[in-house]
A and B are shown apart, each in its own frame.
Chain A
Amino acid sequence: MKLTLKIWRQKNATTKGELKTYPIDGVEGDMSFLEMLDVLNEGLINKGEEPVVFDHDCREGICGSCSLQINGEPHGPDRLVTTCQLHMRMFNDGDTIVIEPFRAKAFPVIKDLVVDRTAFDRIQQAGGYISVNTSGNTIDANTIPINKHDADESFNAATCIGCGACVAACKNASAMLFTSAKVSQFALLPQGRIEATERVLNMVAQMDKEGFGNCTNTGACEIECPKGISLENIARMNREYLSASLKG
């Protein structure tokens, strides 16, 4: 395939960026989107130009590093995949593809397509844990049986990879899906109930402090989420938050 790529180039956080056009030839359907960019970069290096920088690591859809806005959609046109698992067979010969970084006030651009997502880490640090010491001197794991349905729901919420697609998809750049996934994982488990009140209050407070927008229930986040994290988590977090606020 022959493609035309329009890629956001930005030298650093303080310099203004712009879209630049790069033609590319010889793209195969079996290539992943990032392997296509590898080919582009190899060509740029050979020509003495600076390669396009983007975040990536595991390339199997689980680490949450990759983060491109492709033709306006986080992780591109396919569903339930990250960019590294997006394959070029989703595109046609002659296509023009616009590649930008995830856009949000809370995710400033570092360089080219790389953004700073440490706001997510800080939300987790505000309460995304159970306060148990790691000494191993806890009770036997089978002492607390957990209803399979709750355990599965908790797992489903816990599969969030923290990529930030939900924020990039949202017109308000809201981090509700991300935050609610962690709140839900613990809210559904008896171990997590003990600190549920403080957790939801602290995490939501941090989320607001980071400059993420409000949720207006458009559901774009759920559609673009590569792990299929459900909107139900947001509803659950709202309930948790309301009851915590009344207690507080």
Chain B
Amino acid sequence: MSTLDSKIPKGPLADKWTKHKNDINLVNPANKRNIDVIVVGTGLAGGSAAATLAELGYNVKTFCYQDSPRRAHSIAAQGGINAAKNYQGDGDSNYRLFYDTVKGGDYRSREGNVYRLAEVSANIIDQCVAQGVPFAREYGGYLDNRSFGGVLVSRTFYAKGQTGQQLLLGAYSAMNRQINRGKITPYNRHEMLDLVIVDGKARGIIARNLVTGEIERHSAHAVVIASGGYGNVFYLSTNAMGSNVTASWKIHKRGAYFANPCYTQIHPTCIPVSGDHQSKLTLMSESLRNDGRIWVPKKKEDAEAIRQGKKKPKDLSEAERDYYLERRYPSFGNLVPRDVASRAAKERCDAGFGVNKTGQAVFLDFASAIQRYGKERAGIQGNHNPSDEEILKLGKQVIEEKYGNLFQMYEKIVDENPYETPMMIYPAVHYTMGGVWVDYNLQSTIPGCYVTGEANFSDHGANRLGASALMQGLADGYFVLPYTIGDYLSKDIKTGKIPTDTKEFDEAENKIRELLEKLINNKGTHSVDHFHKKLGHIMWNKCGMARNAEDLKSAMSEIRALREEFWKDVKIPGGMNEMNAELEKATRVADFLELGELFAKDALDRNESCGGHFREEYQTEEGEALRDDENFMYVAAWEYTGDPGNEVLHKEKLEYENIEVKSRSYK
């Protein structure tokens, strides 16, 4: 059944990448000038890849749906980026970052890929500092670190709560340098709508110019997909409004296998839903769990009183509070991994201890951190007997320096001051570990079609650790892909320019034209959002934080029915040959309606709980996830066969030679 070859190099774990780099073919600088590469998506993974490939000498075309590469959603990443620098001297190493990542992913990721990620991580920080990324520093002028969930060291580098922004602007500036040199041609406000395959190889894309509506053909010797994750299949998520699965889904339909679609990260600390009009959810960085303590009232009556506004959180004494993460997981406390923290919040809220109007929120409290920092800073300033007021003032100052923008954002959205009263938070869809299947070279099952960053599946297993998405995006783009793609392109030095006036391009373009015409001429009765919201509802209720076989089966049939309804009844005003935001949304939602069904199928097929995938039927007595390593220690890679409900499963067996597979404990 399976022909999946991960192409992990032989040899000891720590030598694999170096050996591989020595073994692969190179392209000489003069020949690089004759080779074109398309990069779809300009976030950390795409932007860094585009800049590096252009710098090496390839001719690069970038595509993004936003008006500028700088607006890709990597920009919204808040807390930080991991790197095994061991600047804190707290015992960090490449191996430990590798170990934490594999364990954090609940033993569902590839050893070889994860070790490489850890190995190149330190270099990312060097590179970014050289580019002028203003990371946080200590008074001595050296780089500062903080800690994230699921680890026992401080290896996270950060720039206040705007780390993603600063890293993306770094990659964008590297791109700008190459645009200025004429080595990158940016196609902004363009959306890739299909992949063109010639003689079995990815040779170009069909894209729509979102300003004029024009359908364009673009050819290249290789195509890199770096278009991010598919969290918006849930409608409400922390993703940007435009984040979509279209590029990944289109290559899937052209032959790229899609791996582990059901592995979704539900992030524990987001601002709770406030009403039906809600268009997106806002994350409050995991870094807040360094200093914030999560709790709900111990007694249901108190929770009820808080929900009704009769009591305030401050009215409850320490003894009346349940710091449930500290209680259940004493060694990791508030810094357990995201999947564990999210499920624990859901458990308390389902049991009736939720603290906002809807009962779907828990507290994240900074009062004790404010006290601790206040005393510390007073001491540094020589005030060894500070008053309560002074402590409070100084403590708030320290918190402001660390998390100022997050606190401001919270206050603007919720209209409450988090310096005075604890934040209210609840889990929300954030990141997708699943994605297009790639081998060690980041190549999909379509030759010449590479997938990087969140769009691929490779490094995070069933759960991603905090501050590792930025690390992976930049590792793929700056340090991995530029080597591995060269090996493939070395066979293309004599190919010459790929023509676009061929039957393959005709076929792909006609298909897209027909799709768009069908949508425009449909003249149904409901907006695209109407269908997207319905899909999100099914996904959240039946494929969300807790899943079971019965719900997943009904999710599959409901999504299928909704998809049919969409194609019968969707209404798109305006025309094709102009800027048309509804048409853009429609093509994206059409793909989500297919992915959703495969998502549910994958979740149904995986009869175990692991990481972000929690099946109610498979749990320990204490409610922890129960893996089934004997039967499910594999990557589920799905092959499209014309119907998302009937895709064919290929298994890539996962082997652990350098790490002992254990049940994951953070207790």
Contacts and interface: CB of A to CB of B under 8 A. Distances in A.
A134 B51 contact: yes
Nearest to A154: B134
A145 B579 contact: no
A142 interface: yes
A164 B21 CA distance: 44
Given A125-B176, A162-B70, A136 B137 contact: no
A140 B124 CA distance: 10
A134 B67 contact: no
A141 B126 contact: yes
A125 B62 CA distance: 15
Contacts of A159: 162, 165, 405
Interface string A128-168: 11111111101111101111100110110011011000000
A129 B177 contact: yes
A192 B132 contact: yes
A45 B127 CA distance: 48
Nearest to B141: A145
Contacts of B578: 11-12, 111
B139 A141 contact: no
Interface stretch (B200-208, B277-285, B549-557, B658-666): B277-285
B357 to A, nearest CB: 11
A35 B76 contact: no
A136 B127 contact: yes
A31 B277 contact: yes
Nearest to A140: B126
Contacts of B22: none
B242 interface: yes
A57 B242 contact: yes
A58 B127 contact: no
B573 interface: yes
Size range of the chain B interface in the assembly: 35 or more
A124 B66 CA distance: 17
B66 A65 contact: yes
A42 B279 contact: no
A225 interface: no
A12 B172 CA distance: 29
A127 B173 CA distance: 9
A52 B422 CA distance: 38
A48 to B, nearest CB: 7
A141 B126 CA distance: 4
Given A55-B67, A139-B130, A128 B176 contact: yes
Interface in B373-428: 405, 408-409, 412-413, 415
B579 A38 contact: no
B130 A59 contact: no
A134 B173 contact: no
A189 to B, nearest CB: 5
A205 interface: no
A64 B71 contact: yes
A56 interface: yes
B142 A35 contact: no
Nearest to B571: A45
Contact of B240 (A63, A145, A154): A63
B646 interface: no
A80 B407 CA distance: 13
A61 B326 CA distance: 33
A32 B579 CA distance: 24
Contacts of A45: 527, 571, 573, 582
Contact of A28 (B141, B240, B277): B277
A79 to B, nearest CB: 10
Interface string A208-248: 00000000000000000000000000000000000000000
A81 to B, nearest CB: 6
Contact of A35 (B51, B172, B279, B574): B279
B140 A145 contact: yes
A179 interface: no
Contacts of A42: 527, 529
B368 interface: no
B571 A121 contact: no
Central interface residue in B73, B120, B279, by most chain A CB within 10 Å: B279
B173 A65 contact: no
B179 A125 contact: yes
A62 B165 contact: yes
B129 A141 contact: yes
Contacts of B69: 121
Contacts of A141: 85, 125-126, 128-129, 135, 143
A70 B140 CA distance: 45
B141 A147 contact: yes
29 contacts: A30-B275, A31-B275, A32-B413, A35-B277, A44-B573, A46-B527, A57-B66, A57-B240, A58-B71, A59-B279, A60-B283, A63-B75, A87-B412, A114-B579, A117-B67, A118-B68, A121-B68, A125-B176, A128-B173, A135-B52, A145-B142, A146-B141, A148-B138, A151-B135, A151-B137, A154-B134, A191-B129, A191-B131, A191-B132
Top 6 A-B residue pairs of the complex, sorted by shortest distance between their CB atoms? A145-B141, A129-B173, A136-B123, A155-B134, A138-B130, A141-B129
